[in-house]
Amino acid sequence: MIRFFILLFLFCMCAFADLRIVSIKQLQNGIILEFNQNIQAQHFKSFTLHGEDNLRYVYDINAQLSGTARVFDFQNDVNLKIAQNSAQKVRLVITTSKKLEIHLKTEKKQARFEMPDTKIENNRISIAALFDRDSKKTTPKTQETKKTKEIKESQKTEKKQENKNIPKPKNTDKKDGKQEVQKVDVKSTKGKIVVIDPGHGGHDCGAMGVGRVCEKKIVLEIGKYLRDILNKRGYKVHMTRNSDRFIGLRQRTNFANNKNADLFISIHANAIKENKEKLEGIESYFLSTARSERAKKVAALENKDATEDMNYFSKQSFLNTLNTQRIIASNRLAIDIQFGMLQSLRNKYQNIIDGGVREGPFWVLVGAVMPSVLLEVGYITHPREGKRINQASYQKSIAQGVADGVDGYFQKNP
């Protein structure tokens, strides 16, 4: 009998030795963890820590986390953090000032943490809250994720107007229920000016990817595809560079300002030096002070050649640019573009990781007076994703998704 239990234990250990959390999706009142294998409730060891002024609900999972730590803020002073605690253990901690009801539900490869008494905190929106690839409903839940009560009311009015003028999206994939993002009518794009900024260029290679391909080359190709798509849809498009040449950060935003652009989109590709197979996924950033280690690392990589520009933009100058209205508009734009990229890529490719919508102090966005975003279209250092990003078909799908996101933004913000 003892031998039987030993063998059973060893079997269970082997079965879950390679258990990984492959993605995290944010809900209105919790999160969803996606695993690479089927899991059950007993794989979560939980306990509670009582502090002087808070409670911490802790869940330990014998698994590995794909990517870095994630932090989510909810109302009523509820904070959720998930990180790799040790080589084989992921720890999820929910911190709250008072007793909290938490529901853990597991089904196949998915674990759902729900907190009925709270909901997502204002200004902390993740694209995961808007896009659930396992759901048959693929329309963004814009009404549930606005930053203030005033914005919610204005969005309700806009939504009513949209429903009168915009037909429902046609279903283009009956098999999985995915829908094509509805294109804006050409008339509504007339006069809308978009500036596309392919990052790096010239002596600045950017990151070096799989096959020793420079980031500057990949993002320029994506920028050109995006330009052509937006032109066909009726937008007036300018590019900060359409060849292999270097442009300073101040020049990029000055160019957009001089063109009286309605949107500024800076395109980049992510990279990592070590454990290259562990990090992948697309991310969309808008300008703000960094709130996570991941955002700080990405910003540091993109800002590394910007010493002169950082000296020019003093701390006070930087803070002066962060007016609430532009932050909110840029956040909206980032959400719509991230959604568009995810949908476009997932229609054709598997294992597309959602890195989320994030805040970061990117100096290339500092001088822009219009809604602006910086896109990290994937990790060019990842073995699979790096190869894909260097393929024309994949680049076109990214550009298609960005264009769909621009359409979505102008549908709600004409």
- Which string of DSSP letters, residue by residue, matches 204-215? B--SB-TTS-BH
Phi, psi angle pair for 56, to nearest 5°: -125, 115
Question: What band does 325 get if pLDDT is binned at 50, 70 and 90?
Answer: confident
Question: What band does 359 get if pLDDT is binned at 50, 70 and 90?
Answer: confident
* DSSP label at residue 351: -
Average pLDDT over residues 295-310: 47
pLDDT digits (tens, 9 = 90+) for 145-189: 333 444 345 444 444 443 444 333 333 333 343 444 445 554 567
| pLDDT exceeds 90 at position 286 | no
| pLDDT exceeds 50 at position 30 | yes
Average pLDDT over residues 93-111: 91
pLDDT of residue 58: 92
| pLDDT exceeds 90 at position 304 | no
Mean pLDDT of the chain: 76
183 neighbors 356 (Cβ within 8 angstroms): no
292 neighbors 358 (Cβ within 8 angstroms): yes
Phi, psi angle pair for 77, to nearest 5°: 60, 40
Beta strands in 12-87 (DSSP E): 20-27, 30-35, 44-50, 55-61, 64-65, 70-74, 78-86
pLDDT of residue 3: 54
Residue 18 CA neighbour count, 13 Å, CB half: 3
Highest mean pLDDT of the ranges 16-25, 73-82, 350-359, 365-374: 350-359
pLDDT of residue 73: 80
Highest mean pLDDT of the ranges 18-32, 107-121, 341-355: 341-355
pLDDT of residue 180: 43
| pLDDT exceeds 90 at position 352 | yes
Question: What band does 9 get if pLDDT is binned at 50, 70 and 90?
Answer: very low
| Residue listed under structure tokens 């009404």 | 143
Q: Which two tokens stand for residue 212?
A: 């020793």
Q: Which helix (H) or strand (E) holds 300?
A: helix 293-303
Highest mean pLDDT of the ranges 25-29, 49-53, 192-196, 312-316: 192-196
Longest dimension (CA), the chain: 79
Q: Which residues contact 217 (CB under 8 A, 6 or more apart)?
A: 244
pLDDT of residue 150: 44
Beta strands in 190-235 (DSSP E): 193-198
| Identity of the amino acid at 26 | Q
Closest by CA to 392, choosing from 217, 221, 213, 199, is: 221
What is the spatial distance between Cα 322 and Cα 150, in angstroms, rounded to a whole number? 19
| pLDDT exceeds 90 at position 194 | yes
What is the spatial distance between Cα 197 and Cα 254, in angstroms, rounded to a whole number? 12
372 neighbors 266 (Cβ within 8 angstroms): yes
pLDDT of residue 156: 47
What is the spatial distance between Cα 98 and Cα 160, in angstroms, rounded to a whole number? 39
Q: Which helix (H) or strand (E) holds 378?
A: strand 372-379
Q: Which two tokens stand for residue 125?
A: 């929106």
- Helices vs strands, H then E, count in the chain: 12, 18
| Identity of the amino acid at 174 | K
